Amino acid sequence: MTRLGRNRDYRLLWTGQVVSEAGFSTTMIAFPLLVLAITGSAAQSGLVVGAVAIAQLVAGLPAGALVDRWPRKRIMLACEAAQAVAAAGLVLALWWQAGGVGLLVAVAVVMGVCRALFEPAEDASLPGLVPTAQVPAAVALNSARTSAGQLSGTALGGFLFAVGRLVPFAFDALTHVFAFFSLLFVRLPGRQAPAERPPAHLGREIAEGLRWVWRQPGLRVTTLCVVGLNLFFSAYYLVIIVLANDRGVPAGEIGVMAAMLGAGGILGALAAPYLHRKLNPYLVVAGVFWALTALTPLAVFVHSGYLMGVLFAAIAFLPPAANTAISTYQLLSTPDELRGRLGGVLGVTGGLAAALGPALGGWLVEALPGTTAVLVCAGAIAVVTLLATTSGTLRATARPRELEGTPGS
């Protein structure tokens, strides 16, 4: 971990992105507040916020293929520049009192497309930026970075909006400028030139990436495990929030619950490299899944928002270790020329799970009593756990060849 901290290029990238993530989260809080202030319409607020996720999903697979075509550092620089320009343009429009919902949707789409391009470009670049033995630590620190950026940005968003409507977006523009210049000084090694072949159609390149993920048993199984767990945990989270509200838990305590979930995720991400070094990846994944299976039903018996926050923190502490093991395996088991498309596939499947999970949770709380809905989600997580534990393919996904025999980071 110390050696990773001395990696100048990774440190520059990490620092720029934690700031950029804070700006993005600030904007995601400010978007609905601004739409409500302009139109008073909750539906239009949802349209603007949803445009980011929809754009990211739609662009996900093509973005992954383009990441494998184009220089990855240039893609990341272009994404930061585009987001800075979009946020600055929105600030000027608000200054001139010309900002409407259409402009907000356009800015949201730019943000979603840029995230669809940036994330696989960064992930695919990671093995070239840090030594192979340090990839697990870098994956875990990136997870902690995302959680830290979200926590700080969420806290800042409402405060900055209270200062002035355009202030959160001005802050967002500055964070992307900072991230751009941080990234500008990152020395990313050049990629090995691929074997000469006729340029493929973008659709064929996307199909090639999908086939690669599906035909590799380890990639297929780990992806399905993550999607299943994310789907049902996203539903579980919404069910718990609704249940707490129905039980009369004050809004302040519900906010503490959400904050402790994020704090648990950060601590878990910091502990993940140690667990990855000490345990076989299968044991990490299976152990985390079983711990979640044991913890999630306890919410039925917890009536205090603060105690539920402690339970949330314990639950959130665990997944980063499994995510580190799975992401490291997926990244190092995929050839460099396909890593962008791997990131595109994982981004789309993860995005679908994140979108469908709350919808499933909302349906469950409408159809069932709150405690029953909790137990249904916990039961679904238990099913995923059983499938993961008994999977011979998952058991065989030990450390990738690149990590065998390497010392801990």
Taking a C-beta distance cutoff of 8 angstroms, is the pair 338, 215 a contact? no
Closest CA to 80 of 178, 146, 203, 169: 178
- 397, pLDDT greater than 90: no
Query: CA–CA separation, 153 vs 21, rounded Å?
Result: 7
Average pLDDT score over residue span 247-265: 84
- 202, pLDDT greater than 60: yes
Average pLDDT score over residue span 97-109: 91
Place of tokens 């964070």: 175
The percentage of the chain sitting over the pLDDT mark of 90, rounded to a whole number, equals 64
Average pLDDT score over residue span 40-62: 90
Q: Domains (ranges, CATH) in the chain?
A: 1-182 (1.20.1250.20), 201-402 (1.20.1250.20)
Name every residue whose Cβ is closer than 8 Å to that of residue 392 and which is 6 or more positions away in sequence: none
Query: CA–CA separation, 354 vs 228, rounded Å?
Result: 10
Average pLDDT score over residue span 195-204: 68
As a dihedral over the C-alpha atoms of residue 3, residue 21, residue 309, residue 355, rounded to 10 degrees, the angle is -120
- 210, pLDDT greater than 50: yes
Most confident of 109-123, 219-233, 276-290, 318-332: 109-123
Structure-token pair, residue 261: 């979930």
What is the largest distance, in Å, between two alpha-carbon atoms of the chain?
65
Give the pLDDT confidence score for residue 4 in this predicted structure.
82
- 375, pLDDT greater than 70: yes
Angle at 163 between CA 161 and CA 166, to 5 degrees: 55
